[in-house]
Amino acid sequence: MKEITYRDALREALVEEMQRDETVFILGEDVGRYWGGAFKVTKGLAEEFGDERVRDTPISESAIVGAAVGAAITGMRPIVEIMFGDLTTLAMDQIVNQAAKIHYMFGGQASVPLVIRTPFGGGVNIAAHHSQSLEAWFMHVPGLLVAAPSTPYDAKGLLKTAIRNNNPVFFCEHKLLYPFKGSIPEEDYTIPFGSARVVREGEDITIVATMFMVHEALSAADTLKKEGLSAEVLDPRTLVPLDKEALVASVKKTGRAVIVSEGCKTAGVTAEIAAVIAEEAIDYLDAPLVRVAEPDTPIPFSPPLEKAVIPNKDTIIKAVRNIA
């Protein structure tokens, strides 16, 4: 095993898959040799693989994803980097109406092996147009797979799986996770989609958390342990497919659940996970389900206000205490 950052884990996955398969290429704004991506994930790749396979594009998310869809259906495996997740709004027709539906609408005669990588989340004080968490939007689209890794190990393994998949994958990253360090194997590995991970075993309550909130949940679990509460922390890792069996198994064991996500509460990731538990494990619940999410508001630019709306360790602890 070796210690590596989330950023470098993503880069390693890109390098290894580009070495393995010549049809894999990267395109996006400032991904090439002069910048290396907005968060430096693609730094050095243009020098290694050339400008044809690491392609800087014009500032048009619609054109970037449209070109990638065309490349994918003709046999290439494009990886799109959208600089901020909020900017996927500028390519929604290409993502939702084209990439996600082509395999179905052509009766299986065409596939779209496309990966769209993009960072979500707040905490870096860059206001409402660059701080949203819109993962739930893409969960709602039949034909898209949605990955949301929280560790370097998961980032590398899930990205390699995404690149090899013949379906379009929306790959959610979190800005605050890029410098986060963790252990990964030296050897090649992949992580299957639809396989949740119990990050921490517990007996009294299940905390289901995604992306950066996994680490907030772990911090909350440490504090709760001192109070005599044993919290199990479950990371779905992929939102589509969602590992319902793991969710149900954990709730059956603990009898209580708090669901945490950084997106807005209404119709968000927490709502879908809560619905799954309510439909498939309600008889095992000893207390109401509780959701911890952002209020339905734009992300403020003001640092104190931004901190106030984003879920954290303290809001998770408060939610657990309310039903423990």
DSSP string, 46-112: HHHH-TTTEEE--S-HHHHHHHHHHHHHTT-EEEEE-SSGGGGGGGHIIIIIIITTHHHHTTTS---
Q: Are residues 60 and 89 in the same domain?
A: yes
pTM: 0.97
Q: What is the CATH number of the domain that holds 164?
A: 3.40.50.970
Residue 190: predicted pLDDT: 98
Looking at the domain assignment, is residue 191 inside a domain? Answer: no
In a domain, 290, yes or no: yes
Structure tokens at 219: 């911090």
My answer on whether 175 and 210 are in the same domain is: no
Tokens of 156: 């590398």
* 119 and 206, same domain (yes or no): no
Task: Give the domain extent around 68.
Answer: 2-184
125 lies in the same domain as 252: no
Same domain, 110 and 203: no
Among all residues, which ones are annotated catalytic? 130
Positive/negative CA dihedral, 298, 120, 87, 293? negative
Query: What local confidence, expressed as pLDDT, does residue 45 receive?
Result: 98
Tokens found for residue 148: 């949301």
Give yes or no: residues 201 and 149 share one domain.
no
Q: What is the pLDDT of residues 153-166, one digit of tens each?
A: 999 999 999 999 99
In a domain, residue 36? The reply is yes
Scored b (16 or more CB within 10 A) or e, 240-271 reads bebbbebbbbbbeebbbbbbbbbbbbeebbbb
In a domain, 97, yes or no: yes
One domain for residues 152 and 206: no
Please indicate, yes or no, if residue 225 is contained in any of the structural domains.
yes
- Token pair of 186, please? 């030296």
pLDDT of amino acid 24: 98
Low-confidence ranges of the chain (pLDDT < 70): none
In a domain, 271, yes or no: yes
Q: Is residue 189 part of a domain?
A: no
- The span from the CA of 36 to the CA of 32, in Å, is 5
Q: Report which residue type is found at 123.
A: G
Which of 131, 151, 184 is a domain's end point? 184
Q: Are residues 100 and 232 in the same domain?
A: no
Burial, 296: exposed, middle or buried (Cβ in 10 Å; 0-12, 13-18, 19+)? exposed
Contact 8, 61 (CB under 8 A): no
Residue 229 belongs to a domain with what CATH number?
3.40.50.920
Does residue 228 share a domain with residue 119?
no
209 and 137 in one domain? no
Instruction: Tell me which of 154, 184, 214 is where a domain ends.
Output: 184
User: Of 128, 154, 184, which marks where a domain is finished?
Assistant: 184
Say whether both 113 and 241 belong to one domain: no
Is residue 190 a part of any domain in this protein?
Answer: no
- Are 305 and 252 in a shared domain? yes
Give the total number of structural domains in the chain: 2
